[in-house]
Amino acid sequence: MSFNWAEDMNCAVTVCDKSGVIVFMNQKSRETFCKNGESMVGRSMIPCHNERSQGIIREMLEKGTSNSYTIQKNGVKKMIYQTPWRENGEIMGLVEISMVIPEEMPHYVRG
């Protein structure tokens, strides 16, 4: 699978397989999660999460649900979107997109 489309995006893109092993991290993801230049590709992301988060990951992988939320860390607000990726309808793993968002953001209701 090629992830060239994601490499230079202005958001962090992290992809894991259905067992939670990271198969791709774009440049922003590596800058965010790789300490001391050590790549997480090939390693399980499961131990990096608490029990509650592990349950959410299991549910997304089993039921095909998505998860989204905002966080603030070091004065930076981000939106996190996590969703399964599929091949021929079968869940193959998860994609997480993490993007910096402004403190105040317009919200439009369209009809």
DSSP state of 74: T
Distance CA 55, CA 47 (A): 12
* CATH number for the domain harbouring residue 92: 3.30.450.20
Tell whether 28 is covered by a domain: yes
Tell whether 107 is covered by a domain: no
Tell whether 23 is covered by a domain: yes
pLDDT tens digits, one per residue of 5-60: 888 889 999 999 999 999 999 999 998 887 776 788 999 999 989 999 999 999 99
Domain tally, the chain: 1
Give the domain range for residue 88. Answer: 10-100
Tell whether 86 is covered by a domain: yes
DSSP string spanning 53-67?
HHHHHHHHHHH---E
Q: Is the pTM of this model over 0.85?
A: yes
